[in-house]
Amino acid sequence: MPVVKAVPCPVCGSLCDDIELTIENGKIVKVKNGCAMCESKFLSHNSEHRILKPLIKRNGKLIEASFEEAAKKAAEILADANYPILYGWSSTNCEATRVGLELAEEIGGVIDNTAVICHGPSILSVQQVGIPSCTLGQIRHRADLVIYWGSNPWSSHPRHIERYTTFSEGRFQRSTWKRYLLKVKASIVRKKIESALRRVFFKKKPSTPRIGGLPPSMLREGRKLVVVDVRKTKSAEIADYFIQVEPCKDYELLQALRALIRDEEIDVDKVAGVPVENLEEVADLMIKCNFGILFFGVGLTMSEGKMRNIDAALSLVRDLNTRTKFAIMPMRGHFNVTGANTVFTWQTGYPYAVDFSLGYPRYNPGETSIMDILLNKESDATLVVASDPAANFPQKAVEHLVKNPLIVIDPHMNVTAQMADVIFPSAFVGIEESGTAYRMDHVPLPLKKVVNPPRDVLSDEEILRKILSEVRKLKEKKLVEVA
Amino acid sequence: MISLHPQKEFVFPIIAEGINPDVFQDKNRGEIEELEIWEGNKQKKLGELFKVKETGTEPQQEDIAIVIYGDLSRVRRIGAWMKGGEITINGNVGMHLGEEMEGGKITVHGSVGGWAGSMMKGGIIEIHGNASHYLGAAYRGSSQGMNGGRIIVHGNVGYEAGAYMRKGLMKIYGSVGQFAGFRMHNGTIYIQKDCEGRVGACMKNGKIVVAGFLESVLPTFTIESIRKKVKIGEDDVAEGPFYRFLGDLTENGNGKLYVLKEENPHLSTYERLL
């Protein structure tokens, strides 16, 4: 059976490129090196939920149609619209996104990607403050202090810790995997002893609250992992030090750390539920490290304060760079959301929420972002590519989304597709279609085509090119009529 | 005086930079009706969307007065870059009202959308209803907020009022959301009612006065003194006593944050540091 090696995984922003796939009779039968999400995507891409033919809604029912017919229908909807929106783009390749931007310009629409509901605030702050960043390779080999803030990589990016941070074996930094195993074993033994003591003396579980000071693991040499979150996640359990911040108080904590790094005095005893003496120790730890990295997730971007939380985090890292070497990186979700931002930027100058309605690109999240447009009920047609907004947008936004003509390009019959007027089946990017995707550290990686798509199923790029050509034909026809 | 009445209920965003006294100057009714305006992605004439009426004095007068009636909550950029004249809006109005205006006066008898008076350099905006987020703030990516003039709001205001403010006066007689005066460099913000918090975050200079309830002061502000009263603008004084905080320490700031003592007994813990 043929084995394809070094396949990039099209699931999360880590874009692990060491996956090995075993192919049998044109189907993937075995996945090696991948996490549970990776395995699930590669093995079940050909599930029963797959769409195999273009569909058009007629009399409230989705009816099979030819590709040409569906493309014409989609083009008519988009060309006639006064304020259409084109959304998705983070789970497809850069080549398709490029055509999508061309289409948005042609129809005078608003084009937005999924960054708007995850790391959009990060981008706004990066534009305001700047970002001292690096590649994941540098982190793997050099970082001796790793901080995850508002992120739970153990669940969201399962191989991030193993491949790029504390559990990875770097050239200059050793993996802390064994230390973690010892910690787990010690914890099990401690729990057993405590349980035995409880049974013998019929006492309640002894509470051993630690007041102030860093745990002994933080005083050791080598890599250290710190997690800051509102609850003790699985990532927090494996961390050397966990800071539990009060919900929606991240901004205060970040600002307090900034002040401490500048050797300023703080008037209060606790910030965001954390004693100031602990924060002083964390600030010392940050200053004393040789290469620190702060990863932040949607726990920071989407909690109260949003872009200003990121403003504070970026400013903290900027301040730290006056004392040591420190970098910061957003934990991007979809495998090519960074690519979507990159293509948007080099095509239009703006990374998301780009409005072409006046004939030139404009950008103002809050005004030209899909969520605001839907909640203000301003759009009159939507094209969704490789996304499922109906499953995760607020109800009011979805109500307006489905009230107007909706076109979906997706391999699966997802919630949005079920409510669509025109549906195009597409090939899975990274499995049935090659292309380019950007990892969370802005490193572009070539995606592989390992199996063929089902018969007559085209790629996102080909479908979009066809719609674009139909839109152009309609516009030419209209011009001739006017003339 | 020119009066405008919407011809229909607007569905798509209207970009109406043309509704500006400087643009209307020296134009008769017919010429005003021919002005370009955007509805969604379609270019229209002003006359297609608004009924234009001339009333009272001749339009050729030095300072043109425009009065608009109806719901304009989807109409954006009215009075943007205006240098003189007067606009009165009887109804709600959309985003970017009076953006980068340099002079004249805009009065709204209703509520306004986001970015009202953003980056304004002069003139007066008076809002008798509520104002949304980014009142007098900077455009995305810019660090130049309001740089002069006055904004008076009789209702409540959203987040980030006066962000990146450099000069001017903002008087808010209602409550405000978070991050009022974010990264402000100078100028004065007066808030008569409650403030959601994070006020003056990263401010470098300037003055913010909170005469209502403030849940907490950022840890990066330090108490300096208690003042009996504070001067607001050139001719107004707010009676205290007020706690006076200095900050933001993270930016080596020398901004002054005044919080009314009477409304904020929970801040009395700071008094031990005086």
Helix (H) or strand (E) holding B248: none
Provide the 8-state DSSP code for A118. T
Tell me the C-alpha distance between B192 and A391, whole Å: 42
Query: Shortest Cα distance from A72 to chain B (angstroms)?
Result: 21
Query: Shortest Cα distance from A435 to chain B (angstroms)?
Result: 32
CB < 8 Å to A315, chain B:
202, 250
Residue A14: alpha-carbon gap to chain centroid: 9
- Are B15 and A271 a contacting pair at CB < 8 A? no
Q: Which residues pair with A407 in a beta bridge?
A: A383, A422
Please state the φ and ψ torsions of residue A413, each to the nearest 5 degrees.
-85, 80
Candidates B39, B182, B249: best to mutate against A (most CBs of A within 10 A) is: B249
Positions of chain A with pLDDT lower than 50, given as ranges: 208-209, 211
CB < 8 Å to A127, chain B:
140-141
B106 in contact with chain A, both atoms CB, cutoff 8 A: no
Tell me the C-alpha distance between B182 and B137, whole Å: 9
B184 in contact with chain A, both atoms CB, cutoff 8 A: no
Provide the 8-state DSSP code for A18. -
Q: Which residues pair with B246 in a beta bridge?
A: B222, B256
Residue A205: per-residue pLDDT: 56
Would you say A97 and A386 are in contact if contact means Cβ atoms under 8 Å apart? no
Tell me the C-alpha distance between A478 and A411, whole Å: 33
Residues in Cβ contact with A431 at an 8 Å cutoff, skipping those fewer than 6 apart = A10, A28, A41, A42, A45, A449, A450, A451
Query: Shortest Cα distance from A245 to chain B (angstroms)?
Result: 15
* Partner residue opposite A252 with nearest CB, options B133, B140, B218: B218
**For residue B224, what is the nearest residue in chain A, using CA coordinates?**
A267
Q: Which residues pair with B238 in a beta bridge?
A: B230
Does the A48-118+335-482 domain belong in CATH 3.60.20.10?
Answer: no
Residue A211: per-residue pLDDT: 46
- Pairing of the two strands A110-113 and A354-355: antiparallel
User: What stretch(es) of chain A map to CATH 3.40.228.10?
Assistant: 120-330
Q: Closest Cα partner for A286 from A310, A312, A322? A: A322
Tell me the C-alpha distance between B57 and B51, whole Å: 18
Would you say B77 and B18 are in contact if contact means Cβ atoms under 8 Å apart? no
Please state the φ and ψ torsions of residue A412, each to the nearest 5 degrees.
-110, 155
In order of A483, B108, B131, B194, the CA distances from B126 in angstroms are 48, 6, 10, 20
CB < 8 Å to B179, chain A:
305, 308
Q: What is the pLDDT of residues B31-68, one digit of tens each?
A: 999 999 999 999 999 999 999 998 875 545 567 899 99
CB < 8 Å to B115, chain A:
364, 367
In order of A62, B9, B105, B124, B243, the CA distances from B88 in angstroms are 51, 19, 8, 12, 38
Helix (H) or strand (E) holding A96: helix A94-107
Tell me the C-alpha distance between B76 and B37, whole Å: 10
Q: Is A89 left (phi over 0), alpha (psi -120 to 50) or beta?
A: left
User: Which of helix, strand or coil describes residue A24?
Assistant: strand
Residue B239 has a CB neighbour count (10 Å cut-off) of 11
Would you say B206 and B255 are in contact if contact means Cβ atoms under 8 Å apart? yes
User: What stretch(es) of chain A map to CATH 3.40.50.740?
Assistant: 48-118+335-482
Would you say A233 and A292 are in contact if contact means Cβ atoms under 8 Å apart? no
- In the numeric block, the tokens 């990039």 are attached to A8
A360-367: long-range contacts (C-beta < 8 A, 24 or more apart)?
Answer: A361/A105, A363/B140, A364/B115, A364/B139, A364/B140, A365/A116, A365/A120, A365/A124, A365/B140, A366/B114, A366/B133, A366/B134, A367/B13, A367/B76, A367/B95, A367/B114, A367/B115
B223 in contact with chain A, both atoms CB, cutoff 8 A: yes
* Partner residue opposite B250 with nearest CB, options A258, A271, A357: A258
User: Which of helix, strand or coil describes residue A372?
Assistant: helix
Tell me the C-alpha distance between B130 and A370, whole Å: 24
* Partner residue opposite A82 with nearest CB, options B41, B115, B133: B41
**Where do the H-state alpha helices sit in B62-123?**
none
Please state the φ and ψ torsions of residue A239, each to the nearest 5 degrees.
-75, 155
Query: Shortest Cα distance from A211 to chain B (angstroms)?
Result: 21
Would you say A440 and A338 are in contact if contact means Cβ atoms under 8 Å apart? yes
- Are A266 and B178 a contacting pair at CB < 8 A? no
Residues in Cβ contact with A247 at an 8 Å cutoff, skipping those fewer than 6 apart = A230, A303
Helix (H) or strand (E) holding A86: strand A84-88
Provide the 8-state DSSP code for A427. P
Query: Shortest Cα distance from A303 to chain B (angstroms)?
Result: 13
Using an 8 Å CB-CB cutoff, list residues of chain A that contact chain B.
81-83, 107-109, 124, 127-128, 251-252, 255-256, 258-259, 262, 264-268, 271, 304-305, 308, 311, 315, 319, 356-359, 363-367, 376-378, 380
Instruction: Please report the number of interchain residue pairs, chain A to chain B, with beta-carbon separation below 8 angstroms.
Output: 100
Q: What is the pLDDT of residues B150-192, one digit of tens each?
A: 999 999 999 999 999 999 999 999 999 999 999 999 999 999 9
Q: Which residues of A72-97 are buried (b: 16+ CB within 10 A; e: fewer)?
A: bbbbbbbbebbbbbbbbbbbbbbbbb
Residue A83: per-residue pLDDT: 96
Residue B263: per-residue pLDDT: 92
- Are A265 and B222 a contacting pair at CB < 8 A? yes
Would you say B126 and B107 are in contact if contact means Cβ atoms under 8 Å apart? yes
Query: Shortest Cα distance from A394 to chain B (angstroms)?
Result: 20
Q: Within 13 Å of residue B177, how many CA atoms lie on the same side as its CB?
A: 16
Burial class for A306, CB neighbours closer than 10 Å (0-12, 13-18, 19+): buried
* Partner residue opposite B219 with nearest CB, options A128, A255, A305: A255
Does the A120-330 domain belong in CATH 3.40.228.10?
Answer: yes
Residue B173 has a CB neighbour count (10 Å cut-off) of 17
Would you say B72 and B92 are in contact if contact means Cβ atoms under 8 Å apart? yes
Torsion angle (degrees, nearest 10) of CA A333, A335, A340, A346: 110
Residue B20 has a CB neighbour count (10 Å cut-off) of 25
* Partner residue opposite B182 with nearest CB, options A267, A308, A363: A308
* Partner residue opposite B249 with nearest CB, options A264, A305, A359: A264
Tell me the C-alpha distance between A391 and A402, whole Å: 12
Tell me the C-alpha distance between B270 and A355, whole Å: 49
Handedness of CA A83, B87, B176, B138 (dihedral sign): positive
- Pairing of the two strands A354-355 and A362-363: antiparallel
Positions of chain B with pLDDT lower than 50, given as ranges: 59
In order of A8, A298, A349, the CA distances from A354 in angstroms are 29, 22, 9
Residue B236: alpha-carbon gap to chain centroid: 19
- Are B178 and A363 a contacting pair at CB < 8 A? no
- Are B141 and A264 a contacting pair at CB < 8 A? no
**For residue A316, what is the nearest residue in chain B, using CA coordinates?**
B250
Tell me the C-alpha distance between A444 and A441, whole Å: 9
